[in-house]
Amino acid sequence: MATDYYAVLGVRRDASQDEIKKAFRRLARELHPDVNPDPKTQERFKEINAAYEVLSDPQKKQVYDLGGDPLSAAGGGGAGGFGAGFGGFSDIMDAFFGTASQRGPRSRTRRGQDAMIRLEVELDEAAFGTTKDIQVDTAVVCTTCEGEGAAPGTSAQTCDMCRGRGEVSQVTRSFLGQVMTSRPCPQCQGFGTVVPTPCPECAGDGRVRSRRTLTVKIPAGVDNGTRIQLAGEGEVGPGGGPAGDLYVEISERPHAVFQRRGDDLHCTVTLPMTAAALGTKIPLETLDGLEEVDIRPGTQSGQSIPLHQRGVTHLRGGGRGDLIVHVEVQTPSKLDAEQEELIRRLAKLRGEERASGHFAPGQQGLFSRLKDAFNGR
C-alpha cells in the first residue's frame, strides 16, 4: 500500500467519522496554501485531502481497509484529484472559512432584529412597579401578501438561471487542478426563487412598518438602564420571518427631593440650630405618604436618620432599601441685639465663652459622617 491515510491524518484505525473530520479540518487550516505556500506543505496538503477523500467516504474507506486503492479505482486521477462527486473541496472551504456546509437555496424567511425603546418612569413607579402603554414602531408581517412578498394572485417562481439551486457553479483552474466553485445565483440572490410581481404594499419584503401600542409591566425595583425583554415584540424578519425581541430600557426621572443610590434613597433636611438642640418632628412626604422624621434633642450636623424599608423595592427578592435623611444644622447669622445677648448668656451658662475648639487627626466631622452614612453604617 502506497500511503497510510490514517497516519496522514494522525488518527487511529478505529477513529470515528467525527474524529476523522476534526483531524482533517485542523490540518486543512494549518496547511492551506494561502497560509503556508511552500511546495512541501502543498504536497502534504494534497495528501491530507486524498486521505480525507478516502476515509470520509464509507465505500472508499471499505475498499481501502480491504487493501485496495479506491482513488485509482474511482478513476479520479489519484491523490489531489477532484473528481465528480468529491465533497472534499467544500469541506476545505468549511474548514477554512468556518461556514457550515449549507448547500442549496437560502430561505427568504429570516428572523427579525431586536428592537429597543427607552421608557421614562417616575421614582415611585420604579420603586413599586407599574404598567405602561408604549407606542412602538416596528416591522410587522405584510397583511396584503402574508409575508410572501408576491402580489396577491401571483407567487414566487423557481429561478431559471440556477434552476432553484440558489447557486451557480464555475470551473476554474488552480494548483489543485480543475476546481468547481459555487457562488450565490446573481439572478435570485441565492433564494432559488424569483418574485415576478412583488407585493405593492411591501415591495416584496413581506413586511411593513407599523405603529402599535403595547402594555408593558414594569417590575418593582427597576433602575436606570434596566432592560425589560419582550420576546417576539421586535422587528418581524424578511419574508415574514419570526420577530426579534423588544427591549424596553428604563430611564428614571430625577426626583425633586430624593436621590437614589442603589435601592436606598437620600435626602437632606436643613434645621435651625435650636431645633437640632431641642429636638423636633419634621413632616416628610415619603413614597409611602406623609411621615414624621424624629429629630432627637442634640442632633448633630451631618448625622443621618434612616427610615427603614422606605426606599426602593429590591428587584430580586422582597424587601426594600432605606430612606436616609441627612441632617444639616444651620448656625444662626444676622443676630439682632437680643438674640446675640441670649446666645452669649447660653455660652456663659455652658462655660463656652472662650471655647477653643477641639482638634483631631483626619476628618472626623461632617465628611466622615456623610461617608459612613453612604456606606450604610
Q: How far apart are CA 365 and CA 377, in angstroms?
A: 15
CB closer to Zn ion out of 139 and 162: 162
Closer residue to Zn ion, CB minimum distance, 3 or 144: 144
Q: Binding site annotation covers 267?
A: no
**Binding residue (CB under 5 A) for Zn ion from 41, 144, 181, 280:** 144
The dihedral of CA 103, 106, 111, 116: what is its sign? positive
Is residue 161 close enough to count as binding Zn ion by CB under 5 A?
A: yes
Residue 127 in the binding site for Zn ion (CB under 5 A) = no
Q: By CB under 5 A, name the one of 31, 79, 156, 159 that touches Zn ion.
A: 159
> In the numeric block, which cell numbers belong to residue 265?
434613597
- Smallest separation, CB 322 to Zn ion (Å): 56
| Distance in Å, CB of 182 to Zn ion, minimum | 12
Q: Shortest gap between Cβ of 142 and Zn ion (angstroms)? A: 3
289 contacts: CB under 8 Å, gap ≥ 6:
none
| 203 in contact with Zn ion (CB under 5 A) | no
Asked if 202 is part of the footprint of Zn ion (rule: CB under 5 A), the reply reads: yes
* Beta carbon of residue 206, minimum distance to Zn ion (angstroms, whole number): 6
Asked if 270 and 330 count as a contact pair (C-beta separation under 8 A), the reply is: yes
| 169 binds Zn ion per the rule CB under 5 A | no
Q: Which residues contact 143 (CB under 8 A, 6 or more apart)?
A: 201
Nearest to 122 by CA among 4, 258, 5: 258
For residue 83, give the nearest of 68, 94, 73 by alpha carbon. Answer: 73
Decide whether 168 or 325 has the Cβ nearer to Zn ion: 168
Closest contact distance (angstroms) between CB of 49 and Zn ion is 30
H or E segment to which residue 19 belongs: helix 17-31
Is residue 222 a contact partner of residue 312, using CB atoms and an 8 Å limit?
no
Q: Closer CB to Zn ion, residue 150 or residue 323?
A: 150
**How far is Cα 130 from Cα 312, in angstroms, rounded to an integer?**
13
Q: Confirm or reject binding of residue 142 to Zn ion (CB under 5 A).
A: yes
- Among the listed ranges 123-131, 183-191, 228-236, 369-377, the one in contact with Zn ion (CB under 5 A) is 183-191
Q: Can you tell me the distance from the alpha carbon of 182 to that of 273, in angstroms, rounded to the nearest whole number? A: 87
* Under rule CB under 5 A, residue 139 binds Zn ion: no
Q: Which is nearer to Zn ion, 203 or 335 (CB)?
A: 203
Closest separation in Å from C-beta 170 to Zn ion? 14
Chosen residue from 115, 185, 230, 329 binding Zn ion by CB under 5 A:
185
145 is an interface residue for Zn ion by CB under 5 A = yes
> Which is it for strands 167-174 and 246-252: parallel, antiparallel or unpaired?
unpaired
Q: Which of 187, 259, 364, 368 binds Zn ion (CB under 5 A)?
A: 187
**How is residue 173 written as a grid cell?**
483552474
Under 8 Å between Cβ of 244 and 114: yes
User: Which is nearest to 208 in space by CA: 177, 240, 172?
Assistant: 240
All three cell numbers of 193, joined, read 426563487
Please state the closest distance from residue 143 (CB atom) to Zn ion, in A.
Answer: 8
Q: Whole-angstrom Cα distance, residue 174 to residue 335? A: 100
199 carries a ligand binding annotation = yes
User: What is the binding site for Zn ion (CB under 5 A)?
Assistant: 142, 144-145, 159, 161-162, 185, 187-188, 199, 201-202
- Binding residues for Zn(2+), as ranges, are 142, 145, 159, 162, 185, 188, 199, 202
Binding residues: 142, 145, 159, 162, 185, 188, 199, 202
